[in-house]
Amino acid sequence: MVSLGTDTFGNITRLDNVLEGFETKTQACEEMLSNTKIQLGNAKSEVQRPFVQEGDLKSKSARLDELNILLNMDKRENELVDGEPEEEMEEVVAKNKEYER
């Protein structure tokens, strides 16, 4: 990108400066590309390796699900997450209220 002005000779100088810097920018981009290719190769090899803690993750996830179920036993089943009930839900809840003594 070159910003051009009103001076013809100034514009030529700007274009010359950009063309001179083109080689160094190309080398920098080629280095970045080679680094990216190396990173891609490393990432592909990492993906092929098995996940060592997979069994541990599954058992802990199952335990977490059990604990969440136990913690949510006293809550209503139809409780909304965002806290904004729909109009139809309010009518059904109002008709089916049971009172404890």
For the stretch 40-67, pLDDT in tens is 999 999 999 988 899 999 999 999 999 9
What distance in Å separates the CA atoms of residue 95 and residue 86, rounded to the nearest whole number?
15
Predicted local confidence at residue 85, as pLDDT: 54
Beta carbons within 10 angstroms of residue 85's beta carbon: 13
pLDDT for 87 beyond 90: no
Q: For tokens 């092929």, what's the residue?
A: 48
What distance in Å separates the CA atoms of residue 99 and residue 101, rounded to the nearest whole number?
7
Instruction: Indicate the pTM of the whole model.
Output: 0.44
For the chain, the domains span 1-73
Instruction: List Cα–Cα distances, 4 to 7, 15, 20, 21, in angstroms.
Output: 8, 9, 17, 17
- Percent of the chain topping pLDDT 70: 74
Helices within the chain (DSSP H only): 8-48, 54-71, 87-95
Lowest mean pLDDT among 3-7, 18-22, 24-28, 89-93: 89-93
